[in-house]
């Protein structure tokens, strides 16, 4: 118990809950998995890279299970949920977090770029949620990772931004489709966050990534990028009963970037 | 240990309803709460219920001298202030065609001017890590018959947070809007009646009205470090009413 007190006074807001987090091996997904466990949950994290996933599990330390898989491959999702069903029997919380975004200006973007972006962010999310439903506990919480770009123009990232607008709108329709099961569905839109993704997955050079980070900071009323743990705290709020009357919203965790 | 341990909060419109529920939660999380309201008997009842970490100051947010007295009381006891929940609000129904100047003045004096000076006068006591929460409304983004003054005033409140996120840049003070939908306060239950409550519940995706404690929980989230990267935003606590 002393651990929790020292650790910023976390409570046990997710005591005994079973949570699935896609894209759980780094960044926002990893920080959220860690926080969920600190709040008493058991988490199942999924990601494409086995080595990173194992390292994530070691970082989370306890009450964590890993399943290697790609959300854009339906058979991987089937395998994920088969494991969840066997191990835990049901799901209380789903954080559909896996996403992809690479830079490609309109004039140069390829079909492969477009397909990859939408396969992961839109199709992947659609089936991540659909395939969770048979095991989802009534009254549970689904959180979709969108982005501030769902309402901002971001040169070079039009496919990404459009895919995230689609995600935001999933939350609206699914709020209504799942209301009889009392399952809440919200999207959460981070602004620029200090994660490895900007440097490693966007296709920007190290120098470009540094410039982008500095430019982001200047566009954010709080004057800095967010930390993964700050996003994790907001996702935990949406996952827990603290947000029991919140559904269909898009929670901006963006230091004010898309708000002003 | 609560997440508002040692924090000092002001809640306007704090004696009843959402303000009172937020006060209860803030105190449970370790905070000291100054309630501000117009009716002494309601304040007395709230203090009796909330216990030793509640204080009461009688006054109206539309009266600047009353606000000065509120913050003088905070300053005298604790010297600094961490959280402001600018929650006092007024609303009555008048359809276009029947709107009077008095109706507009009363609504905007409390909801807009009152909110502005509640916050402005709090600033000298606030600093790094401070959190300002403005009570908006789902009415700020929807249209409903007879609610033009109230809805417009709540849309104004939502927009104050945008400007203030910029005005407060560099201070370490965050500002966000909490927008409830249909909430089962004593006032709302009396005003709506059984039938009216059913109508609101049926319009809401979650098929019920909010318990004020559910809104209080969100206020506690916005007040705490758990929302440390949120400013200028609006959280709808409306069961999906204005979201879909």
Residue A82's pLDDT is what?
A: 98
- The pair of structure tokens assigned to A222 is 């709080």
Q: Residue B86's pLDDT band (boundaries 50, 70, 90)?
A: very high
Residue A207's pLDDT is what?
A: 86
Residue A220 is part of a domain; what is its CATH number? 3.40.50.720
φ and ψ at residue A249, rounded to 5 degrees: -85, 170
Q: What is the mean pLDDT of residues B91-117?
A: 97
pLDDT tens across A158-183, in order? 999 999 999 999 999 999 999 999 99
In angstroms, the CA A102 to CA A159 distance is 9
**Is position A258 within any domain?**
no
- The SS3 call for residue A62 is coil
Q: Which residues of B touch A189 (CB under 8 A)?
A: none
pTM for this entry? 0.94
Q: In 10 A of CB B45, how many CB atoms?
A: 15
Q: What is the mean pLDDT of residues B27-39?
A: 98
Q: Which residues of A touch B173 (CB under 8 A)?
A: none
Contact A5 B1 (CB under 8 A): yes
B158-179 burial code (b ≥16 CB/10 A, e <16): bbbbbebbebbbeeebbbbbbb
pLDDT tens across B156-214, in order? 999 999 999 999 999 999 999 999 999 999 999 999 999 999 999 999 999 999 999 99
**Is position A187 within any domain?**
yes
User: Could you tell me if residue B100 is left (phi over 0), alpha (psi between -120 and 50 degrees) or otherwise beta?
Assistant: beta
B150 is catalytic: yes
The counts of H helices and E strands in chain A are: 10, 7
B34 CA to chain A: closest CA distance, Å?
23
Task: Determine the straight-line distance between the first and last CA of chain B, rounded to whole angstroms.
Answer: 37
**Residue B52 DSSP label:** T
Is the CB of residue A226 less than 8 Å from the CB of residue A253? yes
Q: What percent of chain B has pLDDT over 70?
A: 100
For testing the chain B interface, which of A246, A250, A254 should be mutated: the one with the most B CBs within 10 Å? A246
Tell me the domain boundaries of chain B.
Answer: 8-236
Residue A10's pLDDT is what?
A: 65
Q: For the purposes of burial, counting CB atoms within 10 Å of the CB of A7, is it exposed (0-12), middle (13-18) or buried (19 or more)?
A: exposed
| Chain B contact for A234 (CB, 8 A cutoff) | yes
Q: Which residues of B touch A32 (CB under 8 A)?
A: none
φ and ψ at residue B177, rounded to 5 degrees: -110, 135
Residue tagged active-site, from B3, B150, B169, B198: B150
Considering only CB atoms, A248 lies closest to which of B5, B221, B240, namely B240
Residues spanned by the domain of A232: 2-253
pLDDT in tens, chain A (260 residues): 333 333 444 679 999 999 999 999 999 999 999 999 999 999 999 999 999 999 999 999 999 999 999 999 999 999 999 999 999 999 999 999 999 998 999 999 999 999 999 999 999 999 999 999 999 999 999 999 999 999 998 899 999 999 999 999 999 999 999 999 999 999 999 999 998 777 677 778 888 888 888 888 889 999 999 999 999 999 999 999 999 999 999 999 999 999 99
The vertex-A126 CA angle with A47 and A150, nearest 5°, equals 90
> Helix A27-38 crosses helix A228-239 at what angle (to 10 degrees)?
50
Report the domain count for chain A: 1
| Chain B contact for A139 (CB, 8 A cutoff) | no
Closest A-chain CA to B177: A259
Closest A-chain CA to B203: A176
In angstroms, the CA A127 to CA B89 distance is 44
| Chain B contact for A192 (CB, 8 A cutoff) | no
Q: Which residues of B touch A252 (CB under 8 A)?
A: 230, 232-233
Contact A256 B239 (CB under 8 A): no
In angstroms, the CA B40 to CA B57 distance is 9
**Which residues are within 8 A (CB) of A205 and not within 5 positions of it... i.e. 6 or more apart?**
none
φ and ψ at residue B175, rounded to 5 degrees: -140, 130
Q: How far is CA B172 from CA A164, B7, B131, in A?
A: 29, 15, 9
Contact A245 B211 (CB under 8 A): yes
Is the CB of residue B229 less than 8 Å from the CB of residue A252? no
B209 CA to chain A: closest CA distance, Å?
9
| Chain B contact for A232 (CB, 8 A cutoff) | no
Contact B237 A246 (CB under 8 A): yes
| Chain B contact for A236 (CB, 8 A cutoff) | yes
Residue tagged active-site, from B7, B24, B121, B154: B154
**Which residues are within 8 A (CB) of A152 and not within 5 positions of it... i.e. 6 or more apart?**
A161, A257, A258
Residue A21's pLDDT is what?
A: 98
B13-43 burial code (b ≥16 CB/10 A, e <16): bbbbbbbbbbbbbbbebebbbbbbbbeeebb
Residue A5's pLDDT is what?
A: 38
The vertex-A81 CA angle with A39 and A124, nearest 5°, equals 95
**Is position A200 within any domain?**
yes
Q: Residue B105's pLDDT band (boundaries 50, 70, 90)?
A: very high
> Which of the pair, B141 or A196, is modelled with greater confidence?
B141
| Chain B contact for A247 (CB, 8 A cutoff) | yes
B154 is catalytic: yes
Considering only CB atoms, B207 lies closest to which of A179, A231, A242, namely A179
Closest B-chain CA to A237: B221
- Architecture of the structural domain at B8-236: 3-Layer(aba) Sandwich (3.40)
Residues facing residue A145 across a β-bridge: A188
């Amino acid at each position: 118990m002393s651990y929790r007190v020292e650790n910023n006074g976390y409570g046990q807001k997710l005591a005994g809950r079973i949570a699935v987090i896609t894209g759980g091996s780094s960044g926002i997904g990893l920080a959220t998995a860690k926080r969920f466990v600190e709040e008493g949950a058991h988490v199942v994290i999924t990601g494409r890279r086995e080595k990173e996933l194992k390292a994530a599990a070691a970082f989370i330390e306890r009450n964590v299970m890993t399943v290697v898989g790609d959300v854009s491959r339906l058979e991987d999702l089937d395998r994920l949920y088969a494991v969840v069903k066997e191990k835990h029997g049901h799901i209380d919380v789903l954080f559909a977090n896996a996403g992809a975004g690479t830079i490609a200006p309109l004039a140069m973007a390829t079909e492969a770029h477009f397909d990859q972006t939408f396969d992961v962010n839109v199709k992947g999310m659609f089936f991540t949620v659909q395939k969770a439903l048979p095991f989802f506990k009534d009254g549970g919480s689904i959180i979709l990772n969108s982005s501030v770009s769902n309402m901002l123009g971001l040169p070079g990232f039009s496919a990404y931004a459009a895919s995230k607008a689609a995600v935001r709108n999933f939350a609206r329709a699914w709020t209504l489709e799942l209301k009889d099961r009392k399952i809440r569905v919200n999207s959460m839109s981070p602004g620029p966050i200090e994660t490895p993704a900007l440097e490693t997955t966007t296709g920007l050079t190290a120098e470009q990534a540094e410039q982008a980070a500095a430019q982001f900071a200047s566009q954010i009323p709080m004057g800095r990028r967010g930390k993964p743990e700050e996003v994790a705290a907001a996702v935990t709020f949406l996952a827990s009963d603290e947000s029991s009357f919140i559904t269909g919203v898009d929670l901006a965790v963006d230091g004010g970037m898309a708000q002003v | 240990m609560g997440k508002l341990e040692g924090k000092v909060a002001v809640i306007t419109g704090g004696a009843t309803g959402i303000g009172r529920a937020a006060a209860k939660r803030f105190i449970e999380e370790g905070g000291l709460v100054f309630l501000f309201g117009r009716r002494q008997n309601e304040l007395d009842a709230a203090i009796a219920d909330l216990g030793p970490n509640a204080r009461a100051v009688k006054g109206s947010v539309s009266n600047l001298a009353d606000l000065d007295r509120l913050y003088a009381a905070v300053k005298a006891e604790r010297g600094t202030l961490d959280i402001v929940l600018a929650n006092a609000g007024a609303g009555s129904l008048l359809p276009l065609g029947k709107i009077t100047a008095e109706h507009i003045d009363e609504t905007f004096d409390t909801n807009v001017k009152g909110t502005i000076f509640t916050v402005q006068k709090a600033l000298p006591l606030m600093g790094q890590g401070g959190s300002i929460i403005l009570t908006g409304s789902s009415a700020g983004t929807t249209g409903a018959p007879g609610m033009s003054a109230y809805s417009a005033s709540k849309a104004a409140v939502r927009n104050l947070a945008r400007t203030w996120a910029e005005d407060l840049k560099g201070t370490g003070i965050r500002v966000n809007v909490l927008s409830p939908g249909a909430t089962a306060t004593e006032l709302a239950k009396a005003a709506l009646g059984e039938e009216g409550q059913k109508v609101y519940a049926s319009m809401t995706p979650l098929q019920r009205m909010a318990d004020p404690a559910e809104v209080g929980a969100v206020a506690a989230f916005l007040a705490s470090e758990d929302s440390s990267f949120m400013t200028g935003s609006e959280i709808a606590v409306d069961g999906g009413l204005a979201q879909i």
